Amino acid sequence: VLVKQCTCQNGGLCENQVVTKNRTDYNCSCSSSFTGKLCETKVNGCHSDPCFPGVHCTETSESYACGRKTCASQPCFPGVMCKDLNSPYQSFVCGACPKYYYGNGEKCYRNDEKACQETMCSDLVNCEESLDYPGYRCGNCPRGYIGNGTMCQAFCFPPCKDGKICTQPGVCGCLHGYQGPECSKAICRIQCQNRGFCYQPDKCFCPPGYTGQYCETGKL
C-alpha cells in the first residue's frame, strides 16, 4: 500500500483519505488563520470586514481584532512618535508629549503657563498662545522687517554694499565693533598701548616685549 507522507504546514492536521485500494492520500485540516492545500497561506482576517461598521479591524497573528488601532491610523498626538507593538493587549504605543504639553502621548494637553516661555520667537514680535502644536505662535514681524516671526531681519532698499549690513529698516551700517567707509577698521574701546594696534574688536596685536588685552603689560 502506498501512503503519501503528510506535509501540512502551520499546525495543519493530516486527515488520511483512501484514494485506491493500494494508495492512501491525505487532506490538510487548517486552522482558521491559514488556508491552501498545505495550509501554507495566511488568511487576512479583515478581508471579509468582520467588524461592526465603523469599527477598525486589525490583522493579528491569530486572526483579527476589532477596535484595535495601529500607527497607520495616526492615533498619537501630532508630532509624537508612534510604535507598533506585537502584543495581544496593546497594538501601539505613543512617545512623550511635545515640550509645553502633558499627557500620555495619544492625548496631549497644553500647559498654558509655559506655552510662551523659552520660545524661539524674535524679540521684536509677540508670542501668542495657540491650541495647535507646539502651543504658541509667533506674531508677524514689524514694518520694515522680513521673516517668519522666529527671525526678523531689517530690510534695506537698495541693498547695502561696501561691507555694510542692514542694521535698521532702510539704514546701512557696520557690524558691531567695526567702522570706516568699508567697515574694515576694528574698534577697541580702550586704545592699544605701547605701539600695539587694534586688529579685531577689543583685541590688540602687541609688539615684541608686551602682552595683555591692550598691550599694557611688559614682559620680563
- The pLDDT of residue 215 is 94
Q: Which one, of 147, 59, 203, lies nearest residue 139 by Cα?
A: 147
Largest CA distance in the chain: 120
Name the one residue in this structure whose C-alpha cell is 514694518.
143
- The pLDDT of residue 33 is 76
Distance in angstroms (rounded) separating the CA atoms of residues 200 and 176 = 11
pLDDT in tens, the chain (220 residues): 455 677 888 888 888 765 656 666 778 888 877 888 888 888 777 777 777 776 667 676 666 777 667 787 788 998 899 998 877 667 788 999 887 777 889 888 776 656 677 667 898 999 887 766 667 788 999 999 999 998 999 999 988 887 788 989 999 988 888 888 878 888 998 999 999 999 988 999 999 999 999 999 998 7
**Domain 2-43 class?**
mainly beta
For 181-217, the DSSP string reads: TTS-EE--SS---TT-EEEETTEEEPPTTEESTTS-E
State the cell numbers at 162. 561696501
Over residues 116-175, the pLDDT tens digits come to 776 678 989 998 877 666 677 889 999 999 999 989 999 999 888 877 889 899 999 888
Q: Do domains 2-43 and 51-111 have the same CATH topology?
A: yes
* Domain formed by 51-111, architecture: Ribbon (2.10)
Distance in angstroms (rounded) separating the CA atoms of residues 126 and 177 = 30
Domain ranges of the chain: 2-43, 51-111, 145-179, 188-218
- The pLDDT of residue 1 is 43
Distance in angstroms (rounded) separating the CA atoms of residues 201 and 211 = 17
Dihedral angle, C-alpha 165, 167, 169, 172, nearest 10 °: -50
- The pLDDT of residue 115 is 65
Residues 81-108 as b/e (b if ≥16 CB within 10 A, e otherwise) read ebeeeeeeeebbbbeebbebbeeebeeb
Q: Is the pTM of this model over 0.85?
A: no
Instruction: Using alpha carbons only, give the angle 142, 148, 153 rounded to the nearest 5 degrees.
Output: 55
- The pLDDT of residue 118 is 65
Distance in angstroms (rounded) separating the CA atoms of residues 28 and 102 = 54
* Domain formed by 188-218, architecture: Ribbon (2.10)
